[in-house]
Amino acid sequence: MTGGAQGIGRAIVEACLTNGWNVALLDPDIAAIEALEEELGLPDGLMSHDGSNHDERVVRNAIEETVERYGALFGLVNNAGFSRNMPLEQLSLEDWNAVIATNLTVGFLCARHAAPHLRKAMGAIVNLASTRAFMSEPDTEAYCASKGGDFGLTHALAASLAPDVRVNAISPGWIATEAWQKPSVRSEPDLNASDHAQHWSGRVGNPEDIASMAVYLLSDEAGFVTGANMVIDGGMTRKMIYQH
């Protein structure tokens, strides 16, 4: 699991642990990792690695150490991601590369090094894409491009690793993650009635909504699901919006 110490990633980590699975997470935020371990009581099934998600050496070593400790690798969740939203004329190549590296390249690196172990275990990969792969707001070029790449990478991997490894994506919509951050930035979501009402589901999403889907896609219950993209957005990307 990449980016597993906060937000949606943390919810997936906790859901996997609750399901009785061992989890290894890779996250560059040491403070967030330490907070997670303290708050969860350092469960035996949790293994943490700190370091850059898109450093190939770090990725390779993390996967090797995970297999050494647990004996096998049955699933991979590529969740690491962030955005740098700004006007196009201000978006530097450095900013663009940083977003692409974390949001897309890390998924390739993890899949590449995990593939032999996942093939052996007949395992599964879950990539966290976004509804931003299919719809946009201004000043989101790097983030939207990276998430579109995650979508494309998913079905390419599903083809390349078939039939041994299933590969699927989850595209979250508006998910309130404030309460799932490290203590120094944790807060309650600042949401109003209109925020919830604009969703067909009647509410903004929460990290547990995504975690439950990730657990399903990793499990044998999803044995006939591969190359798919699960949109979890309360219906928002299917709305027709008219201004009168």
**What pLDDT tens digit does each residue of the chain (244 aa) get?**
999 999 999 999 999 999 999 999 999 999 999 999 999 988 788 998 877 767 899 999 999 999 999 999 999 999 999 999 999 999 999 999 999 999 999 999 999 999 999 999 999 999 999 999 999 999 999 999 999 999 999 999 999 999 999 999 999 999 999 999 999 999 999 999 999 999 999 999 999 999 999 999 999 999 999 999 999 999 999 998 886 6
Q: How many CB atoms lie within 10 A of CB 41?
A: 8
Tell which residue, 180, 237, 183, 182, has the closest CA to residue 208.
Answer: 180
Q: How far apart are CA 224 and CA 124, in angstroms?
A: 11
Q: What is the pLDDT of residue 200?
A: 96
Q: Residue 77: what residue type?
A: V
Q: What is the pLDDT of residue 31?
A: 93
Q: Is 242 a catalytic residue?
A: no
Q: What is the pLDDT of residue 242?
A: 80
Q: How far apart are CA 222 and CA 21, in angstroms?
A: 16
Q: What is the pLDDT of residue 43?
A: 79
Domains of the chain: which residue ranges?
Answer: 7-238
Q: Which of 70, 143, 216, 242 is catalytic?
A: 143
First to last CA, the chain: 45
| CATH class held by domain 7-238 | alpha beta
Q: Are 96 and 82 in contact (CB under 8 A)?
A: no
Residue 6 makes CB contacts below 8 A (sequence gap 6+) with 27, 29, 32, 36, 177, 180, 181, 182
Between 141-161 and 106-121, two packed helices, what is the crossing angle to 10 degrees?
20
pTM over 0.85: yes
Q: Residue 243: what residue type?
A: Q
Q: How far apart are CA 11 and CA 88, in angstroms?
A: 33
Q: What is the pLDDT of residue 54?
A: 73
Q: What is the pLDDT of residue 42?
A: 80
Q: What is the pLDDT of residue 53?
A: 65
Q: How far apart are CA 171 and CA 134, in angstroms?
A: 10
Q: What is the pLDDT of residue 150?
A: 98
